[in-house]
Structure 1
C-alpha cells in the first residue's frame, strides 16, 4: 500500500493513501487490526455511504445488544453528536459489544443487568476514567432504547462513577502564564492567551477562523454542545491577535504556518512546552476554569459567564466545578468593603454660630 496519513476530517481508523503518480486519486481505507478495508476515493459521490456501511459492519442478530448498537449508530441522535464524540462513542460501543453483544436485549430488563454492568465497570477500574466513560456510553445506549420502548428501563442509569476529580483549585496564575508564553513558540503563546481570555475548549479554538472575529467580539458554535457563544475581546487578547500572522484561514497555526492537523499533535506540543516551562500540575482545560474564576471574581453574573462558556441556563450550578470558590469569595469580599467614613471634625474646631440676632 502507498504511504498513508490520518486525515482530521475522517473518523478514527480511516487512513488515506496518496497516489504514487501525481494524476492518480487518493484512496481511503478503514483499518481493522491488520486488515485495510477499501473505501474508494474520499471525494467520490458514494463515499459517505460506503464509509457508513464499513463503520457499521454486517447487521447482527436481531433482538441482541449488538443489534441495538448497530441501530443506535444509525439513529439521528447518534449522528447529531460531534464528529469527535462519535469517534469516541464508536470505540466504547465496540467494547460494550465485546462484553455484552451476544446477550439478548430482553436480559437488560432484568435487575441482574445492573450487577453485570457493575462487574464490567469494576474489571476496568485500573483506568477509572475509561471505565466511567464506558458506562456513560452504555447509559446513553440504553437510554436511547428505553425512549423508544425497546427496554423497560435504563439499568445503567444508577451506576456511580469511579473517578472523582476536583480541579476547581487548579488555576493558572499570572506567573505560570508568563513562563509558558516566554518558553513556547508564538503560536502556542497565542493559544494560551486565547484560552485564558475566552474560556473555550481546545477543539473549538483550533477550529476558530479569522472570519469568526467580528470587531471586538468572537462568535462561534461549539462543536461539543452546538451552543452559539460570543466572547468580548479583551485588550490583552486584542494585542495578541494584532501581532499574529494571517497566513491561514485558521487563527491558530503551527510554526510552519499550517493549521493543526489534529488535536493530538497540538496536545503533544502543549505538554512538551509545559514541561519545558516547569509546569507539571496544570492542563489546557484548566484555562477554562481560570476564565470562569476570573470572570466571576470580576463580578460577572452566572448568565454572563454561561453566554461565553456555552453552559446551559438550566444547570448553572455546574459552573461551580470549574471555579475556585475561595478566590471568587475573596475578590467579591474586597469589592464589597465599604470605604471608611470621613472623620467628623471635633467640636473644638467647629465655629459656633451665635444663638440669636
Structure 2
C-alpha cells in the first residue's frame, strides 16, 4: 500500500475492511481494498483534483500519471509524492512559463536554502524538482531545466566509517537474535536495509542468495559465507521472511526496525556507525580480499558503467594494507630459498 493508506479492519462478521487515504487531518474513503474499483479510486485520491492547466501544479499532476513516474519503485513513488506535494505548495499556482526565466533558478535556490538546516532533506526536494523539470523539458513543456545546475548542500564522506570486528562483536553480544541476524546479513551481503527486510527464505539457493533490488531493479547474487551460513542455520523459520520481529512476525514497517536497531546500537555503545555503513564495510572487505570491482558490483547492484562510485563505500587504507600484505606473502612463497653459496661467497 502507498504511504498514507490505512486499513480499518471489519468490526462485524459481515462487514468488509475499509481503506482510507490520510491527507493531513482528513481521511479520504477508498472502499474495500479487495474491491475491483479500489486501484482506480486509490489512483484518483493520490492524484487529487486536476489543477489549472498551464500551472506548475498541473505539471506535477501530469508527471504522476506518466510512464516515467510509474516505472519508479513503489517506495520511491511514495517519497516523490511527498516531495511533489511540497513543490506544489511552494510553486503550484505559478505559470509554467515562469520556469523558463533565469530568475527561476534564484527562486529555487532561495526555496532550498530555507531548509539548509536539514541539508539532506533540502537536497532531496531539489532532486525531485530536477526530475520533474527534466521530464517537462524532455517533452518540450519548458525550454530548459532551471534546477539542473543547483549543487547539493550535503557533503559527507563515510568511506572511513566501517564496522570493525570488535564493533560487530559488541552489537551481537547485546542484541536480540533477530537483530544480530540482520547485522550479519548486512555485513556479509552488502544489501540495503529495505532489501534485507524483504528477503524471503525462497531467495536462498544453496550457497547463494539471489534477489532483485527494489531501488535499482538489479538482479544480484551473493555467496553465503561461513559466518552467514551458521547464522541462517540457527535462525527460526516462522515466517516466509528471513528477518522477523521477536514475535516471529514480519516487520510491519522499516520505522519499527530502525527504532529497534538504534536501541541496540546505543546499548552496545555504538554511536557513529549506521546500518548503511555495513554496505561500505562489505565493499571494503571484499576489495581487501582481492575481489575485482565487477565481482563486488554483481553483489551490490552497481552499474558496470559507473564502477567508480564504489569508491565512496571503500576504506582505501584498509584495502591497501590488506593487498600489500597479500602481495608480500605471495612474493615470499614465490621466491626460492637462498643457497648457501649465495650467502657465503667463495674465498680467494
Tell me the residue number matched to 2:223. Answer: 232
Question: Would you say 1:64 and 2:88 are equivalent positions?
Answer: no
* Aligned match for 2:106, one of 105, 108, 115: 115
* Aligned match for 2:159, one of 165, 168, 178: 168
* Aligned match for 2:5, one of 8, 11, 14: 14
CA shift for structure 1 position 350: 9.1
Structure 1 residue matching 2:340: 3-state secondary structure: coil
Tell me the residue number matched to 1:3. Answer: none
CA shift for structure 1 position 66: 0.3
Q: Please show how residues 79-98 of structure 1 align to structure 2 within 5 Å.
A: 79-98=70-89
Number of residues of Structure 1 aligned to a counterpart in Structure 2? 343
Distance in 2 separating the partners of 1:260 and 1:215: 25
Cα deviation digits, residues 32-53 of structure 1 (max 9, x gap): 1221110001111110110010
Tell me the residue number matched to 1:7. Answer: none
List runs of 5+ in structure 2 lacking aligned partners: none
Structure 1 residue matching 2:222: 3-state secondary structure: strand
Q: Please show how residues 156-305 of structure 1 align to structure 2 within 5 Å.
A: 156-305=147-296
List runs of 5+ in structure 1 lacking aligned partners: 1-9, 353-357
Question: Would you say 1:151 and 2:151 are equivalent positions?
Answer: no
Distance in 1 separating the partners of 2:67 and 2:170: 46
Against the structure 1 CA distance between its residues 349 and 113, is the aligned structure 2 distance closer, same or farther, given a 3 Å change threshold? closer
Tell me the residue number matched to 1:345. Answer: 340
Against the structure 1 CA distance between its residues 33 and 332, is the aligned structure 2 distance closer, same or farther, given a 3 Å change threshold? same
* Aligned match for 2:34, one of 32, 43, 48: 43
* Aligned match for 1:24, one of 15, 21, 35: 15
Distance in 2 separating the partners of 1:200 and 1:127: 26
CA shift for structure 1 position 349: 7.3
Runs of 4 or more consecutive aligned structure 1 residues displaced over 2 Å after TM superposition: 340-344, 346-352
Structure 1 residue matching 2:50: 3-state secondary structure: coil
TM-score under structure 1 normalisation? 0.93
CA shift for structure 1 position 13: 1.3
CA shift for structure 1 position 240: 0.6
Against the structure 1 CA distance between its residues 347 and 183, is the aligned structure 2 distance closer, same or farther, given a 3 Å change threshold? closer
CA shift for structure 1 position 31: 1.1
* Aligned match for 1:128, one of 103, 111, 119: 119
Tell me the residue number matched to 2:46. Answer: 55
Distance in 2 separating the partners of 1:207 and 1:194: 12
CA shift for structure 1 position 61: 0.6
CA shift for structure 1 position 344: 2.6
Structure 2 residue matching 1:192: 3-state secondary structure: helix
Cα deviation digits, residues 67-101 of structure 1 (max 9, x gap): 00000001111111111111111111011111111
Distance in 2 separating the partners of 1:336 and 1:283: 32
Structure 1 residue matching 2:221: 3-state secondary structure: strand
Structure 2 residue matching 1:346: 3-state secondary structure: helix
Distance in 2 separating the partners of 1:96 and 1:35: 20
Distance in 1 separating the partners of 2:168 and 2:233: 19
Tell me the residue number matched to 2:304. Answer: 313
Distance in 1 separating the partners of 2:169 and 2:342: 55
Moved more, 20-29 or 206-215: 20-29
* Aligned match for 2:325, one of 308, 315, 334: 334
Cα deviation digits, residues 128-158 of structure 1 (max 9, x gap): 1110000000001011111111111111110
CA shift for structure 1 position 347: 7.2
Distance in 2 separating the partners of 1:102 and 1:326: 52
